[in-house]
Amino acid sequence: MPAPAAHHQLVQLSDTHILSPGRLLDGRVDTAAALRAAVQHIKALTPVPAGVLLTGDLVDAGSPASYAHLRQLLEPLTLPVWLMVGNHDHREALQAAFPEHRYLIDPQARRFIQYTVNLPNMRLVALDTVVPGAGHGALCAQRLDWLEHTLAEEPDKTTLLAMHHPPFRTHIGHMDAMGLLEGRDEFIRIVSRHHQIERIICGHIHRSVQCRLAHTVAMTVPSTAHQIALEVGESRGSYTLEPPAMGLHVWRAGPDLVTHLLPIGDYPGPFAFD
């Protein structure tokens, strides 16, 4: 009887909102300390993950100093790291800060940061939803064409599709007002044609939210730092210091993908059952 296939893991961090060294977000949130804690948590994971994906809002204001600080904070990771842009990011500043991350400049994606990564028994497709200078997201015809073509290249490869803005409404009013406001219907039509998409993973919301979308599941993960307060319906917007967390996507063959939400921090345990 053949031995079972090995487990594979992909870590998803999101909305790290790094500032220049010494600064606190809103004078209160130490986003750098939060990312340091996440990095230490990742280094202790077993089996060793295939890599770490950051699904946008890497920094808070897109400045070169904040990207330099992000680079310093990620240096202890010896795993592959893949970066995505969110609405707080600046494409050119990110590319300049991480010149060895050649996937950040793909001629086929033109000015957008879109790429694919071959993982064990899994394909990662990263999609750019950013509108420069705006909080909401959009998928223009060029980005949607890239997605359609990219998915059609490997129709039989189990695929993890990543984007910053989630392609669904969360019912948190102020977040939906700056959600994916353009191209969502066509995006859903594309997804419905490509059944190899096993999961759609997103950031932006600073909370864990899941939604059925076509034949698959779309989801967001919490921030490594601060979380958006859960205010269903109309909301002005506020944040909380609820526990930070990361997504941990685990699979063997690919279609058996499951996602765990892993809190970041020091908690009592583990304790063996008697």
CATH of domain 8-263: 3.60.21.10
Alpha-carbon Rg for the chain in angstroms: 18
Query: Is-contact 163 202, C-beta < 8 A?
Result: yes
**Cis bond upstream, residue 64 (ω within 30):** no
Domain range annotation of the chain? 8-263
CA distance 53 to 14: 8
0.75 cut: is pTM over it? yes
- Per-residue pLDDT tens, the chain, 274 aa: give them: 566 679 999 999 999 999 999 999 999 999 999 999 999 999 999 999 999 999 999 999 999 999 999 999 999 999 999 999 999 999 999 999 999 999 999 777 678 999 999 999 999 999 999 999 999 999 999 999 999 999 999 999 999 999 999 999 999 999 999 999 999 999 999 999 999 999 999 999 999 999 999 999 999 999 999 999 999 999 889 999 999 999 999 999 999 999 999 999 999 999 999 8
